[in-house]
Amino acid sequence: MKIFLTGGTGFVGSRFIEQAQAAGHALVAQRRPGASARRPLERQPRWVDRALDGDFRDELAGCEALVHFAAHTPNPPYAPLDECLYWNVVASTRLLQQAAAAGIRNIVVAGSCFEYGAAADGQEFVHPATESRPSLSYPVSKAAATTSFLGLARQLGLRLQVLRIFQVYGEGEAATRFWPSLRAAALAGKDFSMSAGLQVRDFIGVDEVARQFLRTVEENAAQPGRPRLRNVGTGKGQSLLEFARHWWQEWGATGSLRPGELGLRAGESTRLVANVSDIHVA
């Protein structure tokens, strides 16, 4: 299969490239000019060095699927809402329209569990049919993008699937995020300050996330004009402190974990665990 991919230099996108190429697929991968992959690739895809709001009609021609990972400021501090809306909604919707015009019907988009926002509060396992009630700029823009993509898929008869990723971690993750920050402190023999760590999350390794995206695009199970939403997680909750203690021990850290020294981020949910059993046809 010939796949057009956005966000190929990113955390999950670079893993997807490795797995898709190992499975025999041909990849045309968009990247921002000057960007490089988070991890070295044994084999390079056909790179397209162009901003997401560019014209990709020539490169989309002949492709059979679109996998869209690219996102604007997915890690705090988030960009202002107008920036997030432009890149995550306007530019991304334009890309999907170009793909549809090129005859591509198999489209898989990376969503975010943070789209659920306050609507996830009180849910033991967040169902993919849960409404979106986010309050911060990046999650708001991702929820708006999902609404735009679903409407476009219904209008144009696309076989669209939106996969909302839960707490992904692993090699190549942005250095400011929790797992790499924890690892850096552990390997340096330093103490690690964190919140009380009572937040419960659905932690999933990046390789498994990439595998689920590849399987989704290969199976192409959505019906034309009936887009599907599902969660990408393990369906198992673990507190942040339990997660930290596991890896602290795994790395043989000599410093100390110092829970309770930091507060929670604004708008942070106490529990966010995926319902991975159900698929919502939107």
Contacts 24+ apart (CB under 8 A), 265-268: 265/76, 266/136, 267/117, 267/135, 267/136, 268/199
* Residue 39 pLDDT: 80
- pLDDT for 107 equals 98
Closest CA to 8 of 41, 53, 42, 55: 41
pTM: 0.96
DSSP string, 198-262: --EE-EEEHHHHHHHHHHHHHH--PBTTB-EEEEES-S--EEHHHHHHHHHHHTT--S-EEETSS
* pLDDT for the residue numbered 12: 97
Residue type, 19: Q
Contact criterion met (CB below 8 Å) for 243 and 175:
no
Q: What is the pLDDT along the chain (282 residues), one digit of tens a residue?
A: 999 999 999 999 999 999 999 999 999 999 999 888 778 898 999 999 999 999 999 999 999 999 999 999 999 899 999 999 999 999 999 999 999 999 999 999 999 999 999 999 999 999 999 999 999 999 999 999 999 999 999 999 999 999 999 999 999 999 999 999 999 999 999 999 999 999 999 999 999 999 999 999 999 999 999 999 999 999 999 999 999 999 999 999 999 999 999 988 777 889 999 999 999 999
On the CB side of 178, CA atoms within 13 Å amount to 21
The pLDDT value given to residue 103: 98
pLDDT of residue 133: 96
pLDDT on residue 28: 98
* Main-chain dihedrals φ then ψ at residue 257, nearest 5 degrees: -75, 135
Place of tokens 């390789």: 207
Segments in the chain forming alpha helices (H): 11-22, 57-60, 81-85, 92-101, 137-156, 178-187, 206-219, 240-250
Domains of the chain listed by start with CATH number: 2-169+203-235+274-281 (3.40.50.720), 178-200+236-259 (no CATH)
